[in-house]
Structure 1
Amino acid sequence: MTHEEFRDKMKISSEQAHKELFEAYCGYVYTIVFNRLRSVAAREDIEECLCDVFADVYCYYDPGKNVSGDMSGFIGTIARRKAAALYKSIISGAETVSIDDESAQQLSSEQDAEWEAAANEQRRIILGKIAGLGEPDSTIIIQKYYYGRSAAEIAGMVKLTPENIRVRSGRAVKKLKEMLEKEDISL
């Protein structure tokens, strides 16, 4: 959705404009928030952060500004900042755990660091390719494979029938596998 489309829809009905914006960018925002918080936050915290992102988008969007183009930059920036703030909040509230010398050596080994970096890069690529599937396919894949939601549950989220969810899911997985093969990543 572009800024122009959103402003035009806001003139007609702000509630409908907000709903359409949420539907258009939910998967994108979820991917950003989930990627940042998955190692430290509970599912409920991630979903709450997602809602907070859209609340901020609705509160701070200035329809009077003459901005053009896609809204993904604006929304993505808010999502990254919200997720980073929650991450920092969770981490600063975490307890400090004392470890012995042997554990410290194990944690600091280069092999572990290299493996973790490779795993993070692979996750980043996979999530990027999922986002590249577009809506509603990216939302379907995230909800089905990351959260284990059923076709009926996802159908309510993206306004499709459960049968359509199953068909789109199969096609999206096939397309995702092809995209990942080009990156030498297999599922």
Structure 2
Amino acid sequence: MLSGAGSAEDVEECVSDVFLAAWHSIESYEESRASFRTWLLVLSKYKALDLSRKLLRPGAELMMLRDVESTIQTQYSAEQHALSRESARELIEFVKMMGEPDRSLFWRRYFYYESLDELAMMFGLTKKAIESRLYRCRTALKQALGLADAEKRGINHGR
């Protein structure tokens, strides 16, 4: 859930926070409601979402770009590195230019990993309407990045 939102240290911190929260709130666990595994997974999900929101709040895009850069493997050439960095910038700029509610839907679905059901309830739309909006957003993004024509021709620009 934190993929692309933070560094390996952020993930380790999140895991530590989950164990600490489980330790402090073990009395709230009710065996009759869910298995311990499920309770721990739900706790983990919300800790990861909280950290992801913190890392991806407005103005944190630059930090995200630095983290993306730091995870790029050394096997990439300088050209591939530059293309990857530019693609990340283009993606963020494109999302910033989206209108509402598409911008929020896109961020929440693809950066916060919220489910379609959660989004439908949150925005007062049907699940199908959410799927349609996200499809249009992805299509527009592909066109903005020049990927739609390349896909039609079967060309991969390395992005």
TM-score normalised according to structure 2 size: 0.47
TM-score normalised according to structure 1 size: 0.41
Higher helix share: 1
